[in-house]
Chains A and B, each alone.
Chain A
Amino acid sequence: AQKITQTQPGMFVQEKEAVTLDCTYDTSDQSYGLFWYKQPSSGEMIFLIYQGSYDEQNATEGRYSLNFQKARKSANLVISASQLGDSAMYFCAMREPYGGSQGNLIFGKGTKLSVKP
């Protein structure tokens, strides 16, 4: 069974510094996708970044980058130059493989990031 683990319930970072949010996953499949979502206090889920299991380079989207270490089954999110607006819950998710549901995501329990001014 697939599983996503986020070991940091909460994190603090100083404004303008970088922060890494941890995510490890468990799957026996070769083809899978990894996603990070941001959920502000207002509740909406905002897609941040995607990494495919066959992608050779780490994904980057603006200040977000994904540190993908396939052998270790980790997909950590790195946020550079933190801003106060980055304070939110962050969820790591994995897409289920073919043969199962149609692209359904399995979510971790999330990490609450607080950016200090």
Chain B
Amino acid sequence: SQTIHQWPATLVQPVGSPLSLECTVEGTSNPNLYWYRQAAGRGLQLLFYSVGIGQISSEVPQNLSASRPQDRQFILSSKKLLLSDSGFYLCAWSATRNQPQHFGDGTRLSIL
């Protein structure tokens, strides 16, 4: 069966520091991969999605970036974090665009 792993579970970072969140999927090939952010008490906002290695599409302008160095690995990065980057970050995968998305456990990011 397919599983998705996301780490770390929680992260506290100072303003201006770099960021790297990792997400990996097991048990499937060539999944669609997604990064979402959820502000406190709000719904999810799509940040990036990828349909294949090296293929990244950005949905909102921001100081974050994403990379997909391997088929089942999706990384969310930043060179310099802002206070507004605080939130709950969720990685998700789907087999095709029509299939449901399945989410990782999320990373709670706090910027001090």
A interface residue count range (under 10 / 10 to 19 / 20 to 34 / 35 or more)? 20 to 34
**A47 to B102, Cβ gap below 8 A?**
yes
A4 to B43, CA, bound (A): 10
In chain B, positions 27-71 with a C-beta closer than 8 Å to chain A are: 32, 34, 42-46, 49, 51, 57, 59
Q: Which of the four size classes fits the interface of chain B?
A: 20 to 34
A42–B105 alpha-carbon span in the complex (Å): 8
Measured CA separation A47–B100 after assembly (Å): 7
Question: In whole angstroms, what is the CA distance A103 to B51 when docked?
Answer: 10
The verdict on A64 contacting chain B, using a C-beta distance below 8 Å, is no
**CB <8 Å contact, A108 and B101:** no
B103 near A50: Cβ-Cβ < 8 Å = no
A→B interface (CB under 8 Å): 4, 33, 35, 37, 42-47, 50, 52, 91, 93, 95, 98, 101-105, 107-110
Indicate whether A95 sits within 8 Å of B98 (C-beta atoms), given known contacts A43-B88, A44-B105, A45-B92: yes
- What are the residues of chain B within 8 A of A46 when measuring CB–CB? 103
Contact B97 A95 (CB under 8 A): yes
Q: Are A103 and B43 in contact (CB under 8 A)?
A: no
B43, A33: Cβ atoms under 8 Å?
no
Task: Knowing A33-B98, A103-B96, A104-B49, say if A91 contacts B43 (CB, 8 Å).
Answer: yes
CB distance from A42 to the nearest CB of B (A): 8
Taken together as a complex, chains A and B put the C-alpha atoms of A104 and B94 apart, in Å, by 10
13 A-B pairs with C-beta separation under 8 A: A42-B105, A43-B88, A43-B106, A45-B106, A47-B102, A93-B44, A102-B51, A102-B97, A103-B32, A103-B98, A103-B99, A103-B101, A105-B46
Taking CB atoms, residues of chain B closer than 8 Å to A98 are 97
Chain B, residue nearest A104 (CB)? B46
B97 touches A109 (CB 8 A): no
A47 to B94, CA, bound (A): 11
Cα of A104 to Cα of B92 in the assembled complex, Å: 11
> B71 CB to closest chain A CB, in angstroms?
15
